[in-house]
């Protein structure tokens, strides 16, 4: 494994420190992620979409700076595929998903079920399900519904909730976890 400078820390150690710090530094995201600025921190997101067949595996933040090109790729990946519409994804939502992924200690990507939704798509989904909010944060590109094959809904839920950085909902029957960058709250747990 590659050593990072003269510190004797390897990348895996740094990622574990990041995961632990993101839990300790709660409840605000700015606190959770600010503690590692300048410490060689790298944030990465790995997802695939069963709907479009697309995958994304990108580093989107390095040492305190978001990478605009990577955020553009994430925005496109998380688009409303039904309407082929995009809205800039709030990077705080990506941060929550990335932190939860690190806590799960897996290489497997998340499966994205839903990212950004237009009002039209949200209304269509709402007409068929009581679980879709009228003013969903999906319509603001501030939410993602995710699952993972190798981890249970309860495990993904606990990892996301441990970040204490937004809303986390457990949908066991539908086999996914909702993560958003809204107020800190949990449901379905």
Q: Note down the domain range covering 156.
A: 3-187
The whole-angstrom separation of Cα 107 and Cα 133 is 31
Residue 189 has what pLDDT?
61
Residue 12 has what pLDDT?
52
The whole-angstrom separation of Cα 95 and Cα 31 is 12
**182, two tokens:** 């809204």
- What CATH number has the domain bearing residue 88? 3.30.1380.10
Residue 41 has what pLDDT?
81
Domains identified in the chain, total number: 1
Query: Under 8 Å CB-to-CB from 158, ≥6 apart: which residues?
Result: none
The whole-angstrom separation of Cα 151 and Cα 124 is 29
The answer to whether 160 touches 168, Cβ cutoff 8 Å, is: yes
Query: Under 8 Å CB-to-CB from 72, ≥6 apart: which residues?
Result: none
pLDDT tens, N- to C-terminus, the chain (189 residues): 333 344 444 555 444 544 444 433 333 454 345 333 444 688 999 999 989 999 999 999 998 899 999 999 999 999 999 999 999 999 999 999 999 999 999 999 999 999 999 999 999 988 887 778 788 999 999 999 999 999 999 999 999 999 999 999 999 999 999 999 999 999 996
């Amino acid at each position: 494994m590659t050593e990072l400078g003269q510190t004797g820390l390897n990348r895996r150690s740094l990622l574990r420190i990041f995961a632990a710090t993101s839990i300790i530094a709660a409840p605000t995201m700015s606190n959770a992620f600010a503690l590692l600025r300048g410490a060689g921190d790298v944030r990465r997101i790995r997802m695939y979409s069963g709907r479009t067949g697309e995958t994304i595996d990108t580093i989107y933040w390095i040492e305190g700076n978001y990478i605009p090109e990577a955020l553009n790729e994430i925005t496109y990946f998380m688009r409303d595929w039904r309407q082929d519409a995009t809205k800039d994804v709030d990077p705080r939502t990506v941060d929550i998903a990335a932190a939860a992924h690190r806590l799960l200690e897996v290489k497997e990507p998340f499966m994205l079920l839903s990212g950004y939704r237009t009002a039209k798509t949200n209304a269509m989904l709402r007409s068929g399900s009581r679980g879709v909010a009228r003013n969903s944060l999906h319509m603001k590109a501030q939410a993602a519904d995710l699952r993972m094959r190798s981890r249970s809904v309860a495990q993904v839920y606990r990892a996301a909730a441990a970040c204490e950085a937004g809303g986390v909902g457990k949908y066991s029957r539908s086999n996914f976890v909702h993560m958003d960058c809204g107020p800190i709250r949990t449901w379905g747990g």
